[in-house]
């Protein structure tokens, strides 16, 4: 009797109804959850499939597993990368069947990229810490290897990102993305997929693809990246053979390669310190392209474009002490 008069008794009276509904909900949630987990695993199995052809219904794996690796030892400035993991040393063969010892990601998501005399950004062992590093006029090659974990095709989209740091009292602080120096470094410290003689091509602007069929499991496939910090704007904008260019150096891009004419015109802030002094950049570029021997050559604009390029170099050098290069997938 007492129970019925107490408010609690009403709750007790409602309990069986709510309990059932709640139980149904839990069961539904559980089934949904299991279906979800199962579907993820199933999809994952498809994605990671090694060879799953089933008659006419062939399913091709979008991307098999792989590791990244490089030859050499730690870079001379790696003490600043102490929070990054070391790679795992492995022995395998290259595409041309020669044996090779590599330092591999070995299942880790990110490791320190090892360097050697042929593959470096002037940070390989043997270079002194004082004299190492890059400056306008520097260039070189960076090499890494892709090691498939299954036979078959790989189509990988690599990101090649940079981060700039300022050194203060032996510690590095990252320079904010919003700082103009990041843009300038992107336009001055250049990466390419190909190099023929002294001519670079296929610029890597933050990303590039590695796409190959018929890869063999555990074979190391070599990928080269060519980097250069051109000393002069002329090397990108003056046509080869121009006397003003030849006074200083060589053009580094094929004459018919429009990559830089387009990007400089669209994003002058990546190349020049004070773009307000280069009004109508497109016409300046056209004028430079026509050459210093042409009748309408604008020597003032030529001087200004070189000055602003050099000021950009100066600004990079004064603002940033270190540059980090991050090769990543995923």
Partner 1 sequence: MENTQNITKQKNPKLNNKRLRTAAIILTALLAIAIPVAAWFSNQRGMVTLTKIQSPAALSIGAGNKESCAYIDMSGIDVSDKNVTSKEFVFSVYSSVLGNYKIQLAHTTNIPFTYEIYKASACDENGESVENAVVYHSKLDSKDYYYTKGEKITGDYINKQDAVLLADSTQHEATYGEYNNVQKNAEPLYWQNDTAIKAVQNDGEGFVDYYVLKVSWVNGTVKNDKETDMVYITAGMV
Segment near partner 1 (CB under 8 A); pick from 205-213, 255-263, 277-285, 312-320: 312-320
The CA R_g of the chain, rounded to the nearest whole Å, is: 29
Q: Does 325 bind partner 1 (CB under 8 A)?
A: yes
Q: For residues 53 and 79, which CB has a smaller minimum distance to partner 1 in the complex?
A: 79
Query: Residue 91 and residue 316: Cα distance in Å, rounded?
Result: 40
Closest CA to 198 of 166, 231, 162: 231
When the beta carbons of 82 and 97 are compared against partner 1, the nearer one is 82
Residue 290 touches partner 1, criterion: CB under 8 A: no
CA distances from 274 to 147, 162, 187, 201, 219 (A): 45, 23, 14, 27, 49
Contact 61, 46 (CB under 8 A): yes
Residue 9 structure tokens: 């008794």
**Binding positions for partner 1, 247-286, rule CB under 8 A:** 247-248
- Residue 142 has which token pair? 């960076």
Cα 10 to chain centroid, rounded: 65
Can you tell me which of 12, 24, 26, 174 binds partner 1, judged by CB under 8 A? 26
Distance of CA 283 to the CA centre of its chain: 32
Residue 44 binds partner 1 (CB under 8 A): yes
**Does residue 198 interact with partner 1 by CB under 8 A?**
no
Q: Could you tell me how many residues of this chain bind partner 1 (CB under 8 A)?
A: 76
CB of 29 to partner 1, least distance (A): 6
Whether the CB-CB separation of 288 and 238 falls below 8 Å is answered with yes
**Site for partner 1 (CB under 8 A): which residue of 61, 71, 77, 228?**
77
Closer of 290 and 327 to partner 1 (Cβ): 327
Q: How far is the CB of 56 from partner 1 (least distance, A)?
A: 27
Binding flags for partner 1, 129-168, as an x/- string (CB under 8 A): x--xxxxx-----x-x-------------------xx---
């Amino acid at each position: 009797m007492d129970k019925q008069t107490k408010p609690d008794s009403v709750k007790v009276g409602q309990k069986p109804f709510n309990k059932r509904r709640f139980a149904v909900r839990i069961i539904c949630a559980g089934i949904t959850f299991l279906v979800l987990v199962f579907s993820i695993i199933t999809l994952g199995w498809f994605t990671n499939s090694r060879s799953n052809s089933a008659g006419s219904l062939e399913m091709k794996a979008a991307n098999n597993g792989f590791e990244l690796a490089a030859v050499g030892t730690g870079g001379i400035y790696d003490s600043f990368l102490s929070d990054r993991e070391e790679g795992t040393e492995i022995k395998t063969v290259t595409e041309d069947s020669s044996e090779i010892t590599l330092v591999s990601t070995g299942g880790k998501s990110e490791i320190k990229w090892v360097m050697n005399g042929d593959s470096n950004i002037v940070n390989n062992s043997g270079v002194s810490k004082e004299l190492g590093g890059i400056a306008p006029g520097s260039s070189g090659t960076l090499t890494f290897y892709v090691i498939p974990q299954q036979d078959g095709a790989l189509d990988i989209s690599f990101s090649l990102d940079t981060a700039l740091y300022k050194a203060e009292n032996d510690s590095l602080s990252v320079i904010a993305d919003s700082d103009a120096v990041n843009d300038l470094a992107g336009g001055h410290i250049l990466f390419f997929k190909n190099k023929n003689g002294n001519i670079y091509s296929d610029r890597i602007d933050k990303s590039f693809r590695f796409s190959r069929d018929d890869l063999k499991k555990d074979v190391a496939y070599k990928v080269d990246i060519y980097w250069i910090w051109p000393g002069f704007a002329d090397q990108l904008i003056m046509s080869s053979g121009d006397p003003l260019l030849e006074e200083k150096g060589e053009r580094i891009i094929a004459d018919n390669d429009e990559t830089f004419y387009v990007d400089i015109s669209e994003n002058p802030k990546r190349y020049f310190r004070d773009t307000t002094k280069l009004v109508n950049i497109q016409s300046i570029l056209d004028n430079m392209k026509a050459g210093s021997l042409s009748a309408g050559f604008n020597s003032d604009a030529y001087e200004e474009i070189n000055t602003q390029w050099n000021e950009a170099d100066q600004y990079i050098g004064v603002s940033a002490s270190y540059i980090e290069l991050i090769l990543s997938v995923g």
